[in-house]
Chains A and B, each alone.
Chain A
């Protein structure tokens, strides 16, 4: 039976009437759809999944109930996943079905709108990084870092094979990196941090002619702004290694321009713009110097002309990609995060450069204010390093798990790093609750 007939149980999104289905079957000379299938009996499935069909209202209600099982906590959480207020205009425009329900722009003539939006996204990243090439997206910061490391293997000028990353690198990034380089000739090693950022002396010892890739973050995973980025870049350059910087578009609007500190590649979490808090879903920023253009992973949109000589956009340099180059492709990526990139560009454009910089400045000021308030409490030290901070910082207490549990009872979520350290992240979304957080801290540590 078809979906539109009352009482039918077919797919509600298959629009055939019973009469249409019958006529189509008759045209094909078969009695039922089942006759069209060429599945040997030995592997045919005639069981059931036991999933009842539900009407839309029921599904919506059920999922609302499911999500209501999440505790309503005010989150002061960061460490790689951040959200800022996303203007309603971004939700509204990005939800236009012409954007949302389209696909990769294999036919550029009929998909100029999305191509232009992605070209604009690339251009915004070019401005923020100072590097001349940005792709249409990787999945997230972790996969972007992994792809950047693989890029270093393809473009390296030396015989080296060592990828250097901070000892503080989050497991999500380190684990993803480890998997991606496992099939290459690269090995991952770490360099230590001192006082919240790269230990330059130790890094100088670690970098040698076997090093092909040095990765540094600013802000770091604990929110510290790296004070000596150019020195890190110099250390990498001295041994002809690629310098890859991890950051995000909000931080980049305020902090030193990556190109100015010698970055060859920039990766990071671009979903800080355009994405709400979404359980870790991301948007992988990937930008690099022009000389690596032919080795870039992922899609690129370029400008060209149409048959009338008018400007037009198109996916370009596709011979790098898996659907053309197969096992010699620069990456296996196909589906990416294009719609999130669209949202990020919309968000950036709606803020404008002054709004973006103001947001970034608040990330510095709010973190400083909150850490000062916490530091003023007996039994609390914040931050635990002597750096400037962006959004987040570490907090010292006697019993970190116990304090976090106490905060949770009072409606707050913070990171527990170990027995004596917490981490707290403040953005425009929770800045209004910092006084309450400080009060809760005061009660818990008392």
Chain B
């Protein structure tokens, strides 16, 4: 497929900036009831009429690639289709309540949060789930902070977190921000964790091992039970990075593999839109032993608190039990309440996290149900394998699941990616993980069908067949040609105020 992106603009630039269209300066203090010393002297901002504004942003949108434009196979990002009905649901005005409402008056919100906690606990094989972390990295931070609090409470002074070399950059950064020394674990020859190397790395200083499974080249860590034993025998906890959970939906659960704490990326696995970089949500699941450490406040059923319910958080009050029956009748007593877990780590967000995102994840899970979730992992893995089969590139590590790392061999993966931009697809993640030469980490997700996978494969193969010269010239059909990122970083201009030519025309 060929592709020509919209390109509004002239020889100098694309669509002018808001400030280049119409800028207004006002004196905010002029008509204020506030004394002069409390107000600012001037404010200069764009002031556009609604028709101008609509045209501006419509043009910008047309100079932007999205999942609805075409394949977006960024490895580890799970760019799946975001069903539009979840937007409708999240826009319900009844859900638009303030976080300081008395819990008794927002039973609907609490019902949804409780239900999502339960769904995620079941899907991950965990005993309790917090929905407060606003993104995956925030989930990692929450999970590692829980591990830290757990060790501290046990009088156990541990200083290290072990992270495989192939892990997401957030894992390293999270461990460091939480105050741990990061111990990097080299990848084994087969692309998996080398259990011997892990055994040598763990010690009484090990607070946790952070692991993604399937790992960042799509391989299942087959030795996971042994890995869990090694970490647990050393007194450490096992942390699951949920970035790749889409591969396992309904087929394997981190809790069953021995993980103690995990985060979920609902904007990946549960189809909430990525929004150009966010918002996402990064709920964290824990085993029973860590449940008292979850952030405050936590949602529970009132009868759970008073001990009337069955034991163990996991299977309590299935949100699908009786599917809606009796739910529209709140009755005199509240069904759900907020409480502070006994050893809570405190807060990781000012309020309750990214509420609108959580609604969408809940709606998506209810739409798919067990069968849909199982089919998502099936088709995600089928698609990755089928696509790899069509590529004229080597895929050094197999058997992979929802994603694979192809190698561009003696070509520059970043150049190949630029070439693909002209062929109607978004390229994969490039040059990562680093242990694969010229890696092209590709995750087509379940939302592509055979034809779009063939288009995607054709884009790979065409770009690979292009001459070096052609690739270095690419892209030619996008709103901008190759952007000189080195020069942009050398001379940072981060606002229109910093542009010489920004004001006036």
Contacts and interface: CB of A to CB of B under 8 A. Distances in A.
B306 interface: no
Interface residues of A, number: 196
Given A11-B446, A60-B85, A175-B347, A16 B328 contact: no
A88 B3 CA distance: 32
Nearest to B95: A67
Contact of A40 (B5, B41, B222): B222
A403 interface: no
A282 interface: yes
B203 interface: no
A360 interface: yes
Identify the 4 closest CB pairs spanning chains A and B, nearest first. A280-B351, A183-B179, A339-B275, A304-B488
A12 interface: yes
Contacts of B85: 56, 59-60
Interface string A167-199: 000111111101110111000000000000000
Interface stretch (A99-107, A203-211, A237-245, A438-446): A99-107
Contact of B278 (A68, A182, A260, A338): A338
Interface string B1-20: 00001000101111101110
B334 to A, nearest CB: 10
Interface stretch (B229-237, B283-291, B372-380): B372-380
Contact of B382 (A21, A171, A337): A21
Given A15-B448, A51-B366, A303-B499, 20 more contacts: A24-B450, A25-B382, A52-B323, A62-B323, A70-B94, A70-B106, A81-B98, A99-B60, A110-B478, A112-B60, A114-B276, A120-B46, A123-B17, A126-B495, A174-B347, A180-B141, A279-B351, A303-B488, A332-B141, A335-B267
A107 B359 contact: no
B43 A357 contact: yes
A33 B385 CA distance: 10
Interface string B77-90: 10111110101110
Contact of B371 (A9, A97, A335): A9
Interface in B350-407: 350-357, 359, 362-363, 365-373, 375-376, 378-379, 381-382, 385-386, 389, 399, 401
A36 B99 CA distance: 45
Given A304-B485, A306-B484, A53 B370 contact: yes
Contact of B350 (A33, A54, A141, A339): A141
A413 B60 contact: no
17 contacts: A33-B379, A36-B401, A50-B370, A68-B108, A69-B328, A93-B58, A103-B276, A176-B346, A269-B350, A281-B355, A303-B488, A306-B482, A315-B485, A332-B177, A337-B278, A338-B279, A357-B26
A42 B296 CA distance: 35
Given A66-B111, A110-B421, A300-B494, A364 B368 contact: no
Given A109-B482, A311-B12, A357-B26, A127 B179 contact: no
A93 B61 CA distance: 9
B98 to A, nearest CB: 4
A121 to B, nearest CB: 10
A200 interface: no
B178 interface: yes
B339 interface: no
A123 B493 CA distance: 10
Interface stretch (A155-163, A250-258, A374-382): A250-258
A216 interface: no
Contacts of B112: 63, 66-67
Given A12-B368, A303-B488, A256 B39 contact: yes
A75 B79 CA distance: 37
Contacts of B417: 107
Chain B interface residue number, banded: 35 or more
Contacts of B352: 279-281
Interface string B220-257: 10101100000000000000000000001011110011
A328 B277 contact: no
Contacts of A384: none
B113 to A, nearest CB: 9
B64 interface: yes
A76 B26 CA distance: 30
Interface in A1-40: 2-3, 9-17, 20-21, 23-25, 27-28, 33-34, 36-40
Contacts of A332: 137, 140-141, 170, 173-174, 176-177
B167 to A, nearest CB: 9
Contacts of A257: 40-41
Contacts of A324: 169
Given A14-B446, A113-B61, A132-B497, A97 B68 contact: yes
Contact of A80 (B174, B350, B359): B350
A261 to B, nearest CB: 10
B479 A11 contact: no
Nearest to A259: B40
B342 interface: no
B65 A110 contact: yes
B480 A336 contact: no
Given A66-B327, A254-B28, A338-B278, A413 B101 contact: yes
Contacts of B485: 108, 304, 314-316
